[in-house]
Structure 1
Amino acid sequence: MNWNTMRSCWSNTPTLKVIGILLLGQLLSFSVALMSITSSLIAQFGVDAPLTQSLFTYGSLALVYGSILLYRHQKPLVSWYWYLLLGFADAQGCYLVIKAYQYSSITSVTLLDCWVVPWVILLTWIFLGTRYSLWQLGGGTLCVLGLSLVLVSDTWDGSSNGGGSKPLLGDVLVIVGTIFYAISNVGEEFCVKNKDRIEVVTMIGVYGFLVTAIEVSVLELKTLESIKWSANIVLAFAGYGVSSFIFYSLAPFVLKLSGSTMFNLSLLTSDMWAVIFRVFFYHQKVDWLYFLSFLVVGIGLIIYSTTEKKSVPASVTTEDENLNNLEYQIINGENEST
């Protein structure tokens, strides 16, 4: 059995496809948990350089996937300014959400970060013409409610790290950051579904690197000069770079198979993967609400993915109608001539 046969069998079997999307989404969520853990290690070492972290990620994406694109000798399928907008939105979303932790509590940031889901639903509805059933909306709501159980558990345990120095400013940063995230996800979904995946990842890396490099020179240059680099700090940066590279490499698959809404719903379980790290590496006790939360989010993901319907683009419908009309005219003309 060759690769094309296996891929055809996979795509034509709904159950296998749903299982594949769920597993791939959880692999993405796992990589996000690794990104969070390495980011927290960098913060514990006294380094506050979120833009520099993203700079290494975008640079590696541009280098690896850009080499593949150059080897193909392929001309860009999308104008450069759209990729610039995509890279700018992605870079700002990463920066604003990470920066918000300095002003607001972890509980507030995590809760408000869920706002990316309704933003994505709204943008896909307006610009991509995606229509959601009540079952899909119910599954998405169930995922958000499941995550709220984690926040309740953190509040009871007192692990929210206080209210932060400027909670209102932190909350505003998160909300604005989720808007940028939504723009980036929806734009990437459109590109990977209609254009080339390698090109999309390459251009996000290229323009994300350019935008982030300019911002680093303005905002973080003095911070980098004051860092006393050590092996632990370098390893933490490397861990973040590897995990984020995996995330950006796999993200287009979920976006192409199921869309940006399912993509963001899958990422809601990243907090629960982080709990597993806390249990095995730091030997911390976990409240039972974490396990219940994981179960509720999993049920919500299954409901959303199993009730998802593929919409037929208007262009395809128009082409089919034109083809039918053309066939009718040909047959009608033959009958008249006969």
Structure 2
Amino acid sequence: MDWNTMTSTCWSNSATLRILGILLLGQLVSFSLALMSITSSLIAQFGVDAPLTQSLFTYASLALVYGSILIYRHQKPLVSWYWYLLLGFADAQGCYLVIKAYQYSSITSVTLLDCWIVPWVIILTWIFIGTRYSLWQLAGGTICVLGLSLVLLSDSVGGGGGGGSNAILGDVLVIVGTVFYAVSNVGEEFCVKKKDRVEVVSMLGVYGFLVTAVEVCILERKTLESVKWSTNIVLAFAGYSVSGFMFYSLAPFVLKLSGSTMFNLSLLTADMWAVIFRVFFYNQKVDWLYFLSFAVVGIGLVIYSTTEKKSVTTSATEDGKNTEYQILDDESTSGI
């Protein structure tokens, strides 16, 4: 795809509105993730180490709200239960492992290694969904990761990273967690494009709740018994649940309109939203590299999103193997 074609596509009215909509949705999801990170840190500050329990309340809210919608519809499941069980298991494990890694490794290492989800997603969507990426898209994704690296550079220079008590264990937990996250994201992308969005979110809540409840009984029962519950702790858990509900409710829109790669690239700005929160609410000073990083990631997202639709259409017509995916992509532009 040459530069002139990309420019004309970008500035056509319909394409521009679609791109802006995807970018806005992506940042709303990223902001929700930042709120999850902030409330999770508050829970840790109160001396509560219960990442599974945090997710448990989020899954419960999803199952209650979206499950009620399914019951009202009298709708039979469009996907077999064991696929949703796999989806819920993968999502729950990814969440648990990445949060757990903060106990062993530095914030800088966890944030950097968390970017591994992007190549995992690209590989999985290439193999299982048939997505084909242009050089422009890969360049946009690379720019996003490089933009996040500026934040890591600032943290390292400022000494905010920390060494961690067991860096190797923490790094392994993050890498394994990103694999689970990638499986969850790609599976959710396939389901929301081919089936029903409400069903996917509700079943993710149901099976995520069941898997997490079992693990809470095994891994966190003693921790919960020792917690001295207070109003602040309850409010922190409630804040995490609300922000998690927002995250899982908005995520399918981005996955359906743009795919799991764009979804995870958008999430790279979550740390920067958290920085903005600290600046306005805690009056903390941040390095100028944070603002430069936000701009660089934004440029990468624009490059990726402006070349995305054209590259998928081209691959579908050239190799003849992506017909089903292209139909789903067309459907995603017509409505949710």
**What's the TM-score once normalised by structure 1's chain length?**
0.89
Match for 1:295: what amino acid? A
CA distance in 1, matches of 2:23, 2:326: 30
Q: Does 1:183 align with 2:183?
A: yes
Q: Which residue of the partner structure matches residue 154 of structure 1?
A: 155
Q: Which residue of the partner structure matches residue 323 of structure 2?
A: 314
CA distance in 2, matches of 1:317, 1:35: 34
Match for 2:268: what amino acid? L
Q: Which residue of the partner structure matches residue 132 of structure 1?
A: 133
Quote how far apart the aligned CAs of 1:53 are: 0.2
CA distance in 2, matches of 1:70, 1:221: 32
CA distance in 1, matches of 2:60, 2:104: 29
Match for 2:215: what amino acid? E
Q: Which residue of the partner structure matches residue 27 of structure 1?
A: 28
Q: Please give the per-residue CA displacement for 1:147-177, whole angstroms capped at 9, x wherever unaligned.
A: 00000001111111x2111100000000000
Rg larger in 1 or in 2? 1
CA distance in 2, matches of 1:306, 1:249: 25
Q: Which residue of the partner structure matches residue 217 of structure 2?
A: 217
Quote how far apart the aligned CAs of 1:317 are: 8.9
SS at match of 1:250: helix
Query: Measured at CA, do residues 25 and 316 of structure 1 come closer, stay the same or move farther in structure 2, by a change above 3 Å?
Result: closer
Query: Measured at CA, do residues 53 and 315 of structure 1 come closer, stay the same or move farther in structure 2, by a change above 3 Å?
Result: closer
Quote how far apart the aligned CAs of 1:280 are: 0.8
Q: Which residue of the partner structure matches residue 55 of structure 1?
A: 56
CA distance in 1, matches of 2:56, 2:291: 35
Check whether the contact 2:57–2:241 (CA below 8 A) recurs between aligned residues. yes
Q: Which residue of the partner structure matches residue 7 of structure 1?
A: none
Check whether the contact 2:116–2:178 (CA below 8 A) recurs between aligned residues. yes
Q: Which residue of the partner structure matches residue 230 of structure 2?
A: 230
Q: Which residue of the partner structure matches residue 3 of structure 2?
A: none
Query: Measured at CA, do residues 250 and 42 of structure 1 come closer, stay the same or move farther in structure 2, by a change above 3 Å?
Result: same
Gaps of 5+ in 1: 1-10, 319-338
Q: Please give the per-residue CA displacement for 1:183-218, whole angstroms capped at 9, x wherever unaligned.
A: 000000000000000000000000000000000000
**What's the TM-score once normalised by structure 2's chain length?**
0.90
Match for 2:151: what amino acid? V
Quote how far apart the aligned CAs of 1:281 are: 1.1
CA distance in 2, matches of 1:253, 1:270: 18
CA distance in 1, matches of 2:301, 2:325: 29
- Structure 1's consecutive aligned runs of 4 or more residues displaced over 6 angstroms after TM superposition are none
Q: Which residue of the partner structure matches residue 167 of structure 1?
A: 167
Check whether the contact 2:98–2:177 (CA below 8 A) recurs between aligned residues. yes
Alignment of 1:56-135 (within 5 A): 56-135=57-136
Query: Measured at CA, do residues 308 and 316 of structure 1 come closer, stay the same or move farther in structure 2, by a change above 3 Å?
Result: closer
Quote how far apart the aligned CAs of 1:12 are: 8.2
Q: Does 1:246 align with 2:255?
A: no
Q: Please give the per-residue CA displacement for 1:216-252, whole angstroms capped at 9, x wherever unaligned.
A: 0000000000000000000000000000000000000
Q: Which residue of the partner structure matches residue 271 of structure 1?
A: 271
CA distance in 2, matches of 1:274, 1:317: 36
Query: Measured at CA, do residues 12 and 279 of structure 1 come closer, stay the same or move farther in structure 2, by a change above 3 Å?
Result: closer
CA distance in 1, matches of 2:30, 2:131: 24
Check whether the contact 2:108–2:152 (CA below 8 A) recurs between aligned residues. yes
SS at match of 1:216: helix
Quote how far apart the aligned CAs of 1:314 are: 2.5
CA distance in 1, matches of 2:111, 2:16: 32
Check whether the contact 2:31–2:270 (CA below 8 A) recurs between aligned residues. yes
Check whether the contact 2:97–2:173 (CA below 8 A) recurs between aligned residues. yes
Check whether the contact 2:130–2:325 (CA below 8 A) recurs between aligned residues. no
CA distance in 1, matches of 2:65, 2:290: 37
